Amino acid sequence: MEKTIALLPGDGIGKEVLKVTVDVLKAIEEHFHHQFQFQYGLIGGDAIDQTGTPLPDETVAICKNADAVLLGAVGGPKWDSNPPALRPEKGLLGIRKQLDLYANLRPIITFQSLLDESALKREYIDGVDFIVVRELTGGLYFGEPSERITKDGEEGAVDTLIYKRSEIKRIIVSAFEMASKRRKHVTSVDKANVLETSRLWREIAEEVAKDYPDVTLEHMLVDNAAMQLINAPKRFDVIVTENMFGDILSDEASMITGSLGMLPSASLSSTGLHLYEPVHGSAPDIAGQNIANPTAMILSAAMMLRHSFDLENEAKVLEDAVNQVLQSGKRTADLAKGGPSISTEQLAEEIKAIIAKSQTVSK
């Protein structure tokens, strides 16, 4: 198989975790006799420094000509004082819009070897396996106006929360499709007791549910959902929600696994050109030290192999390799809790060694 992968390292540890993930993908490439072409593009603060914009046209072109996109992370205090249009996060929001990446999938799965790393008791999290389906191109993050204003003679600000019926329907359909292949339960999270957009969201969810009689639909207010993620995380199968709620809840859910460094994500488009990235941020405080946990980035690459390239066996080999390394007791600093730890590059080398010994299965 020949595939082109656009690589957007971004800022901070994004560069480090993407670098070792490419090394792991080259191990997959060699072991399974594929051909991956890698094309690099600038995004975020690095792009601002080099080109004056957080999302250069060249980067957009590289992504649109690729079969899939891998993104590291963007942001950092260096650019915090920049005007809104020149913030690194604008590059991330921009590529989502350019590629119409409307559905963000964040799987939350616990590893047996890491159950004691979570802040929650193991009996609460053992067996957790759910996915957050977050709407990605609408809502408060993209609404206009979004600006500073004067109200009643005082300085103020306004952000606008807008959703179209079509935007809501397609993300809810995606959630039902996913649930129909899992445990057949959708939890739609909203704030329908306060927000008109949430009331429309709930109405559309009820309409879509009629087309999936074998899938149970549950409505849950976002504040209750935040509590239930801690109190009873095993109750969830597929959670679907709007952009800002999904952003917050999926980060909260990440702590079930013990570290943000463990969580991959996929951002899906209707065209089939998908983007994959770790849930964690750029972590500028540890950037350049070779101690960042690359697991989330590597598992994001496994999602790419599965969803974009239909390479199920290769994805499973990669995921199994990660699991074997964790079971062996090897940890990066975020999981070592002050005990012995290995570096970013060493973890990748351990994974590559397991891949090299795996059974090759041709499709």
The residues carrying an active-site annotation are 141, 191, 223, 247, 251
CB proximity list for 181: less than 8 A, separation 6 or greater: none
Rounded CA-CA distance 67/274 in Å is: 8
- Please give the biggest Cα pair distance in the chain: 70
Rounded CA-CA distance 330/352 in Å is: 14
| Exposed / middle / buried, residue 232 (Cβ in 10 Å: 0-12, 13-18, 19+) | exposed
Across 36-55, b (16+ Cβ under 10 Å) vs e yields beebebbbbbbbbeeeebbb
